[in-house]
Amino acid sequence: MLLKFVGIALLLLVQNAGTDNPVDQVEVTERYTLRVQKPGGYGRPNVESLVISPDGKQAAVATSRELLFVRCSDGEIITRYDYAPFSLAYSNDSRQLLSISSRQTKMFQTTTPSEIPYSFTRPKGYLGVRLQEKNGKLVIESVEPGSPASETDWLAGSELVGVGEGSGTTMDSVIGMSLKDVLGKLDGPANTKATLALIPRGKIDESKVTMTRMQINATGGYSPYPTPEKPEAVAWCMANKFHEFRSTRTGNYVSSLRCEQIVNDRGAEGTSKNGEWFAFLSQYKDSQKATVQIGKPADRENKPAISVSGTAAYKVGYKQGAGRIYGAEIYNVLTQELVASFPVGLDESDRGGEVFTGVQLDPATNRMIVSTSSTIHVYDVGTGERKSAIRPVSDDSVMFTTLAVAGSYAAVGDNAGVVRIVDLESKQLVEAIPSREKSKVTHVDLSSDAKTLTYHAEGVAHIVHLKLK
């Protein structure tokens, strides 16, 4: 009887959504397009990133060959750069654009636009341990004075058996690994935490030690990396298997982190517009860790963990038979502290496509918005509870491919060139914008006031002006 009730409740949750026919709330006033391929060029370049400035006046389109700056008022290309970044982010005042490619980070002034002379430095961090292979084991030969490792007096002579990032919720065994590979796991950006699993000399029981990596100063000693100024917005990239964040105002390094309980480099990412929060959605490394964890570590210790198996609301949508359970980890970008971690349901109508097609955070409302192949999910970060699941289209052949959020509006692109605007508060579909290119929408973005939309499909970038009624 309980399962029947839960099933009905969840059905109502999903049905509490927009219909296929938009309500009269948003009007398209103007539309402009540009083709990312130059006339006479060979082969259509891939679009790697597309973002709109917060003020809605400009858009940046990065292809596999060049970076385009586009004026939103008339869809005209302002200038082109022979440069192909994969990550773009505007400063909140729209005056600067930070772009990251596999080889170089560049800053641009957007009013001209023109390149700003800039050099990026990533602070390397160390724990201060020297390892040697001995009797088939990796043993800490010595500890550097003044290093993070020197704060624990029993490390020398201990066998290293595991390494984990952060507080070490999930540890990777290093038994049998080469010395070179293990040293690579110990290194990381300064001010990031690592946890070592060790068997002290003369003992057989394992102990864990968590340390914060320090940088080496000009005199050869160790010193903490200074806490950077709080960024107004950040650009994200993956660097050396770390999630890395850089300020869109200065271009400077802000922080790095690695997810603790979910797979670190295969999933969907999202940063809040103010650069405060970062979320990553991926598969749990260990299904037993699929629990709701809210607040600081001390708070979590005083609260009973809520397991997936013990919470009926989280059962629906999980393909547990295939061993797949997915979750979100949300972090404070500046401090790298875990804000919340909880299971995230799959799309009830998932048809084997991408599990998550987009994620957006809003610290002001304590929400995380997630898109899957047919549904927009809204989660409460403070509790881990899914507050609503909005399915704006009933046609099962429609599959959402990308997501953008501005205020109470969410824009989702689909596999047939249509972008739909959904009001998250009323849970209503308020506009459907079709394209001549009836193919997958790969990127979508909204200005901060939700009055300008930009998206890409089949080699064509679209600029759409919206009137909110």
Residue 199 sits in the same domain as residue 138: yes
| DSSP H or E run through 327 | strand 326-332
Candidates 120, 73, 126; CA nearest to 99 is 120
Q: Using 50, 70 and 90 to split pLDDT, how confident is the model at 346? A: confident
Other C-beta atoms within 10 Å of 170: how many? 21
Both tokens assigned to 395: 């046609």
Question: What does the alpha-carbon distance between residue 335 and residue 331 come to, in Å, rounded to a whole number?
Answer: 8
Same domain? 61 vs 112:
yes
Q: What is the pLDDT of residues 18-47, one digit of tens each?
A: 557 788 788 999 999 999 887 766 677 899
Domain shared by 90 and 141, yes or no: no
Q: Indicate whether 318 pLDDT > 80.
A: no
Answer yes or no: is 87 within a domain: yes
Whether residue 55 is found in the same domain as residue 108: yes
* CB neighbour class for 111 (10 Å; exposed up to 12, middle 13-18, buried from 19): exposed
CATH number of the domain that residue 183 is part of? 2.30.42.10
| Under 8 Å between Cβ of 8 and 22 | no
For residue 63, give its domain range. Answer: 44-118+233-257
**Claim to verify: residue 142 and residue 178 sit in the same structural domain:** yes
Distance of alpha carbon 453 from alpha carbon 52, whole angstroms: 8
User: Residue 414's pLDDT is what?
Assistant: 95
Asked if 55 and 109 sit in the same domain, the reply is yes
pLDDT in tens, 404-439: 999 999 999 999 999 999 999 999 999 999 999 899
The pLDDT, as a whole number, for residue 293 is 83
336 in any annotated domain: no
Q: For the chain, how are helix, strand and coil distributed in percent, rounded to 5?
A: 10, 45, 45
Q: Would residue 282 be called left, alpha or beta, if left means φ above 0 and alpha means ψ between -120 and 50 degrees?
A: beta
Least confident segment among 35-44, 116-125, 307-316, 368-377: 307-316
pLDDT at 298 over 70: no
Mean residue pLDDT of the chain comes to 86
Q: What's the CATH code of the domain at 246?
A: 2.120.10.30
Residues 48, 180, single domain; the answer is no
Taking the C-alpha atoms of residue 277 and residue 242, their distance in angstroms, rounded to an integer, is 16
**For residue 75, what pLDDT is reported?**
94
The count of domains in the chain is: 2
| Same-domain check for residues 205 and 69 | no
On whether both 92 and 240 belong to a single domain, the answer is yes
Token pair in block for residue 62: 């990065």
- Is residue 211 a part of any domain in this protein? yes
User: Checking DSSP bridges between strand 306-307 and strand 67-71, what pairing results, if any?
Assistant: unpaired
Same domain, yes or no: 134 and 184:
yes
Which residues make Cβ contacts (< 8 Å) with residue 39, sequence separation at least 6?
A: none
What does the pLDDT look like over 73-113, one tens digit per residue?
Answer: 999 999 999 999 999 999 999 999 999 998 889 999 998 88
Same domain, 105 and 153: no
Confidence of residue 240 (pLDDT cuts 50, 70, 90): confident
Distance CA 90, CA 368 (A): 21
CB atoms within 10 A of CB 104: 12
